[in-house]
A and B are shown apart, each in its own frame.
Chain A
Amino acid sequence: MTKEYCEGALKFLHAADIHLDSALHGLERYEGAPVDEIRSATRRAFDNLVDLAIDEEVAFVLLAGDLYDGDWKDYNTGLYFVERMGRLREAGIRVFIVVGNHDAASQITKHLRLPDNVTLFSTKHPEQIILEDLNVAVYGQGFATRAVTDDLSQAYPQGDPQLFNIGLLHTCLDGKPGHEPYAPCTVDGLRSKGYQYWALGHVHNREEVSQDPWIVFPGNIQGRHIRESGPKGCTLVTVENGEVEEVEHRDLDVMRWSLCELDVSASESVDDIYEQVHEGLQSALDNAEGRPVAVRLVLKGACTVHSTLHADRERWIQEYRALATGLGGAGIWLEKISIKTRPSVSVDEVLERDDALSGLLRAIRDMELDGSALEELAEEISALRQKLPAELLGGDEPYDPTNPEVLKETLEDIKELLVSRLLSTEKGV
């Protein structure tokens, strides 16, 4: 390779947090849900990465940690990964990997034999790989254990001013909410190494932390639950004359997650809300650019049909699911319908009366403030709680029905459910 070549145009891909074969959370199956469309989402997203690397004729691919889910034991996942690495090898593309906290916990990582185009950095000390043909040096160190709390970047060697230096690191940087505080480091610390590009991983949202030098979290390549909404993919970097010329995000995800929050306070009827939901879902579908999309629908605001909404949640779930199914396109999976509206009028007058209905409403209102009443309610459903799978009680979005906060939220629905059922009759007056 001549100097002109590498100074002319060098392209590489930077991705992280692949989490191969990680399951999609919270998608209750129902008729009309686009089950087939989102099957094997993480693998297909990774296939997109491989295709992109080949199409763009990149020189190499950087994977900044978390190839697998830590508790995922199926070696098939590793075999799949090796096969895809083989494809890159055939295309003459090298791959550099640091293992992340999840990989350190994974059995797969330890046994996998990777093809010779793949470089797995040591977990004991930083390594430097010089690609003489490209005038590029890549530095990296992986996680030896699941929880690395030291600043790994400190031990990385100073960059070579004659080369284009890239640091590959799995880190929470200076602490990101929602992510484990592993391998913390500082922007200044990274800057002091004299590298041109820091390829980071671990944080699932894309972030260009700095442009001089470039410090980039590419985000994960495929959202797996509602908190990983929006476009997901990798970062394509173009280097010319030893300088970063362009950094661009490329979508890889095969399905989107979308939070559709609607303020329905202006709606006068359930038909109005239906229209609003229609628009909201349509726009979520449009934003997904031809991909299927999992939508969490949140209705909020003070509205006149508050009671109707809360009284029969099942009905709205059915209705909006049917609406979503009817929209066609690549398909919408209504992950959840969260009704968080408030009544538009005060009920104080009712509570002041002394009749059976106001007595009922008062009792429910009082329960929200009464710890022992909540305990009594919790007792009523303890049998259910005992049977619920542990994964439901814990995890990222735990559900414990006996939790007082959960119970309080439930009470509003119960109130409207009782009032509407008790007063719902076909009558002449």
Chain B
Amino acid sequence: MKIIELNLAAFGPFTERVLAFDGAGLHIVYGPNEAGKSSALRGLKSLLYGIDERTADNFIHANDKLRIHGILLTSDGHELRFVRRKGRKNTLLTPDDEVLDERVLAPFLSGVSSELFETLFGIDHQALIQGGQEILEQKGEVGQALFSAALGSHALHAVLGELDAETKRLFLPAGSKPVINSAIRAHTDLRSEIRQSSLSSREWEEHRRVLGRTTKELEAVQSKLVDNRIEVNRLQRIQRVLPKLARRREFLLELELLGANSDKPVVVLPDDFTDRRRKAVNARETAQAILGKATPRLEGLQKQLEELSTNQGLLEQAEIIEDLHARLGGHRKALQDRPHLEAEARQLLTDADSILKEIRPDLELTDIEALRPVLARRQAIAELGGKNALLNAQVKQAGASLQETEKRLKAARNERNEITETGDTNALHRAIAAARKQGQLDSSIQSAQSQLASLQVECAGNLARLTLWEGDLEKVSGLRLPNRESIRQFEEKYDELSKRIQRIEEKKEELVDALQDTSQRLDEIERVGEVPTESVLANARSERDAVWQLLHRQWVDGEDVSAEASEYQGEDTLPDVFETRLAGADEVSDRLRREADRVHTLANLQSKQESGQQQGQQIDQELEATSAEKVQLDKDWQALWTHCQIDPLSPREMRAWLDEFEQLRDQVGQLNLLRQKVSELEQNRTTHIQRLNDQLAGLGRAGSTSEDLEAVLLECEALARQLDESKRKHDLLSKEVNERKADVESLSEEHRLATEALETWKAEWGDLMQSLGLRAESSPSEVDDFIEHLRSLFLKQGEAEKLRIRINAIDEDAAAFGGQVEIMVATIAPELVELPADDAVVRLNSLLSENRTRHTKRQQIEEQIEQATQEIQDSKASIQTMTDRLEALCVEAKCGGVDQLETAERRSADYLRIKEAITSIEKEILEAGEGVTIAELEAQVEGVDPDSLSGRITELNNKIEDELEPKRTELAETKGREEKELELMDGSDNAALLADQAHGILAAIRSDAERYVHMKLASKILHDQIERYRKENQGPLLKRASEHFSALTLGSFEGLITDFNDKDEPVLAGIRPGGVRVYVEGMSSGTRDQLYLALRLASLEKYMESAEPMPFIVDDVLVDFDDARSQAALNALAELAEKTQVILFTHHSQVLEQSKQLHGAVQVHGL
């Protein structure tokens, strides 16, 4: 099958992109990156096998719009035109969009599935690399290598490995870890677990029986134990109470002896009786002792008191005396200070008087109060005085500035008047700027002129060299010539015509050869003998039939046919003639059959000859027609050139001539342009010189005589500079004169104001001096001195006044103190009247402290007397109370006197002690007797032998502990165990659950076993098939692959051979020139890739020997090959392309270059 046309009508980036693969040879589909090479590849595959459901080629055309058209052709000439759309069903359409049964494709695909097409009939760069790698992994094993190549698969080794690994994972005959092995073990374990978990019915019965028996025995032992324990208890009780009962009896006897039951009963006294009695006796004795000591002490104290006396009046005035004593120090000090103060006051008044004499000799000290206001105005006077200096300075300054400024004004005016040269330069500047803007006009004109001259010479030369046309340079531009397209059309027509003629002539030659050959062979056949023909046979038969008709009519119809018969009859009768004719026809027929080959060949040759002759005539006619066409074409060609008076050569020559002419035409154009430019430049220069000269005249200067623009310009620029400088200076000086004038005015005003202010001040100052009694011209510093002296005078006068006040206060205080002392002495201590006041105060104070001491002593003695009196009273009362209390106690104890009280107390205590002992022992007996009454116990004890008791008890206890108790424990344990066993046998479903689990494992084993069988058998079958394929195909396949390998490696290897590895397996090896063997492990990866490619090519060739060829799709496999090997691979593909369609997709332009050097046909399709 071949793909004649692939039209990516709406697929991937393409719209109506047609790839026509109809020609022979290698097809190269070239598209640079992004051109959609991959989409085109997918499109090709999708055409044959449907568009992938999740295609990515729907980014321009929506899924339902995707369309791929194709035309396929089988090797036996069947063609199919169809359209593939995307979808799940009915994706095959006729070109008219009708649904096509998918089965129509089957004869074209000859059972090659989509996957097989991809692997076997497609190869890309990655597949090549993987194929090379696969060969390495197979270690060159021949069977695997051949099988891989035959499938285009590079997964064979991996598949074998996977199968092997999976089987080993699942099961190993002697293993324990694989999945199935371990599941089988788990199953076995579970079975035994089920057995263990299962409860048998016999076991159940057994346990029930044992439980019943044990329960009964346990009950018997337990009742025996109870009986024994009761007996032990009873004996132990008797043992316990026996001694207690005896002691009780003893106590009862003692009570009787105390006489409790006699006619003089024991008086039971309260617990605190003895205590009360003892306290009363002790208290009475103590009181008597106190009374004895207190009485004499009282008498001594009263005598002491009478001996102490005090001055009451002195004590009452104590406060005043203390006050006087405190003021005594102050009084003495003031009297001491007074003379000093008087001296100081007198000194101050003398100082004040002398100051006054200095400043105002006209005044006395008493009159100075009139001057006091002057001090208050002190500040205002100082300020006025300060202004004087400032005003004087201002007047002086203003005068000096005015003089200086007037001098400068005069100088500036003089300088300005000296400048005379002026003029307006604006227009001149504009003219200069316009001329400068034109650039180097002079030199431009010069160079244009020289170019013009040389171009003129060149054009003239070229015109002289031009053939076929006569004319001058001016006519060149205007000449109308035929256009290039017309010439090209003529050229094509000539080409086409000459090719046709050539073809026809070739055909004619071939035909003549063929005809000669045919007639030669005809000659040969005819020379062998006449050849019977169908027409001879038909002839013979028709003659035979004609005779038979006559015979029939004669015999059967009885008709007379002699007239007609004579035509056939010679000497023979009609029947004879018929027989002869019959024999003749048969003979021809027989020969026809016998010599069928010759007949056939003859007929063939004859028909060939005939058709050849016909063809010959046809060819002659065609030749004639083409000659006529050529004459017409020549005429048309001439006509094309007549109007420009040229007799043309051939179209191709005329094209060259046209090139030459057009070149000349361009030069003439340039010449004219240049001429125009020179004239324009010159015109420009004249205009500018004129403008400059006009400006010079305007300024009153003579115009320049120079023709050169540059010279004129320089002259004008110098003048403009000179005029500009003068103007600038004049302007500056005018400005200065104006400024100075203004300054003089302002300074005059300033000087006038300052003088006025000074005069005003002088008037004000004179007034002030007068008011102070000073001279009007007194300076401010003199006034300051005056005020300062005045201040000091007032200060001294104030100080003297203060001292006078203090002396007066001292005198008053001394008088008051003396009066107060005098009164006090007269009242309480007349003996001191003679003493001065301050001494009297000292004496009074000492008398006061003495009286105070005696008063305190008297108070203490009075307190002690009161205390002793109280003691005596208390003791007497206590003695009485205690005596009463002892008498009451005698009544309570029924005693005659206090001395009998102690005996009564002793009897009462004995009685109580015995009673308590009896109660206590009875309580013990009742407790030990465990609820049995004392009377009953007495009865039980009656007749018991105390010595045998403990023996009995030991005996019984031993029986309980050694015999009964262990028995009971054992039985209880057995019972518990059995109960537990039975409890566990509760109808649980443990075993059933385990059984479910076991069945789960069985199911798992089954599914794993199925998988194991799949893998194991797949592996075996695959190995068998690889070996079978190798045996059947090794010879021819390796031979062919060997050739390819040698070619692809550029002879670096001579070929391939089969060798054996250490396991005796056949392996591939390459042979170097010289016979060295290289195993696949020793090959470079590139060489292995080429080995894989060689195997693939050989396998494809083998495939095509037995099956419908399929297109081989190659996707950029050459990227890693160097240039030479790449060329070799291209050669191999081109060679394969002679046997089947080969489509090479590439985006390397290198491949296109190399394809040009291929021997076979190559068609390149751009994307």
Contacts and interface: CB of A to CB of B under 8 A. Distances in A.
B1006 interface: yes
Given A78-B201, A392-B1006, A40 B111 contact: no
B117 to A, nearest CB: 8
Interface stretch (A126-134, A143-151, A240-248, A350-358): A350-358
Most buried by A among B41, B111, B204, B1113: B111
B999 A23 contact: yes
A424 B1099 CA distance: 19
A350 B154 CA distance: 21
Chain B contact surface mostly: helix
Interface string A1-38: 00000000000000000000101111111000000000
Contacts of A413: 1014
Interface string B113-128: 1011111111110110
B1010 to A, nearest CB: 7
Given A268-B89, A349-B111, A413-B1014, A389 B1020 contact: no
Given A75-B203, A422-B151, A353 B110 contact: yes
B1021 A364 contact: yes
Interface stretch (B215-223, B982-990, B1063-1071): B982-990
A49 B801 CA distance: 142
Contact of B1009 (A25, A43, A384): A384
A82 B987 contact: yes
A76 B1025 CA distance: 58
Contact of A75 (B106, B985, B1016, B1021): B985
B110 A349 contact: yes
Contacts of A112: 201
A-B CB proximity, top 9 nearest: A429-B122, A349-B111, A80-B987, A356-B150, A79-B987, A111-B201, A28-B1003, A21-B992, A423-B115
29 contacts: A23-B998, A26-B1002, A27-B1000, A42-B992, A43-B992, A75-B200, A78-B201, A108-B201, A111-B204, A313-B1011, A336-B1007, A353-B1107, A356-B146, A356-B1099, A357-B116, A357-B120, A384-B171, A384-B180, A384-B1009, A387-B184, A389-B188, A399-B1009, A413-B1014, A414-B1014, A414-B1018, A418-B1018, A423-B115, A428-B41, A429-B1113
A42 B180 CA distance: 29
Nearest to B203: A75
Interface stretch (B155-163, B669-677, B745-753, B1042-1050): B155-163
Contacts of A372: none
B151 A83 contact: no
Contacts of A427: 118-119, 122, 124, 126-127
Which of B53, B154, B202, B987 has most A Cβ within 10 Å?
A: B987
Contact of B205 (A83, A111, A357, A419): A111
| Residue of B115, B119, B992 ringed by the most chain A CB atoms within 10 A | B992
Interface string B242-282: 00000000000000000000000000000000000000000
A74 B171 contact: no
B88 A269 contact: yes
Interface in A348-395: 348-350, 352-360, 363-364, 367, 377, 380-381, 383-384, 387-389, 391-392
B248 to A, nearest CB: 67
A39 interface: yes
Interface in B72-116: 88-89, 106, 110-111, 113, 115-116
A186 interface: no
B923 to A, nearest CB: 60
B1017 A360 contact: no
A107 interface: yes
Given A74-B991, A392-B1006, A381 B1107 contact: no
Interface string A310-323: 00011001000000
B323 interface: no
A52 interface: no
A415 to B, nearest CB: 9
A353 B151 CA distance: 13
Contacts of B201: 75, 78, 107-108, 110-112
Contact of A356 (B117, B151, B204): B151
A317 B123 CA distance: 34
B606 interface: no
Given A25-B1002, A384-B1016, A429-B117, 8 more contacts: A74-B991, A76-B989, A81-B987, A313-B1011, A347-B111, A357-B151, A392-B1002, A418-B1021
Interface of A: 21, 23-29, 39-40, 42-43, 72-83, 107-108, 110-112, 268-269, 313-314, 317, 335-336, 345, 347-350, 352-360, 363-364, 367, 377, 380-381, 383-384, 387-389, 391-392, 399, 401, 407, 410-411, 413-414, 417-429
A387 B179 CA distance: 13
Residue of B120, B127, B188, B1000 with most partner-chain A CB within 10 A: B1000
A422 B155 contact: yes
- Chain B interface extent, by class: 35 or more
Contacts of A77: 987, 989, 992
Contacts of B156: 422
Contacts of B1006: 26, 28, 392, 399
B767 to A, nearest CB: 126
B1163 interface: no
B1107 A355 contact: yes
Nearest to B992: A21
Contacts of A269: 53, 88
A367 B990 CA distance: 48
A24 B999 contact: yes
B993 interface: yes
B1146 to A, nearest CB: 12
Contacts of B151: 356-357, 422-423
B678 to A, nearest CB: 71
A425 B119 contact: yes
B106 A349 contact: yes
Contacts of A42: 992
Contacts of B122: 427-429
B1005 interface: yes
B995 interface: yes
A201 B504 CA distance: 103
Given A23-B992, A80-B989, A389 B184 contact: yes
B124 A423 contact: no
B21 interface: no
Contacts of B146: 356
A425 B155 contact: yes
A23 B986 CA distance: 20
B985 A354 contact: no
Contacts of B1029: 356, 359
A418 B1022 contact: yes
A343 B1009 CA distance: 25
A377 B1017 contact: yes
Contacts of B198: 73-76
B991 A21 contact: yes
Contacts of A363: 1021, 1024-1025, 1028
A427 B125 CA distance: 9
A24 B1103 CA distance: 55
Nearest to A271: B53
Given A28-B1007, A75-B204, A410-B1014, A388 B998 contact: no
A75 B982 CA distance: 12
Nearest to A402: B1013
Nearest to B204: A75
B784 interface: no
B286 to A, nearest CB: 99
B70 to A, nearest CB: 16
A74 B1029 CA distance: 60
B1005 A25 contact: no
A21 B89 CA distance: 53
Contacts of B393: none
Interface-central residue, B53, B124, B993, B1107, by most chain A CB under 10 Å: B1107
A21 B124 contact: no
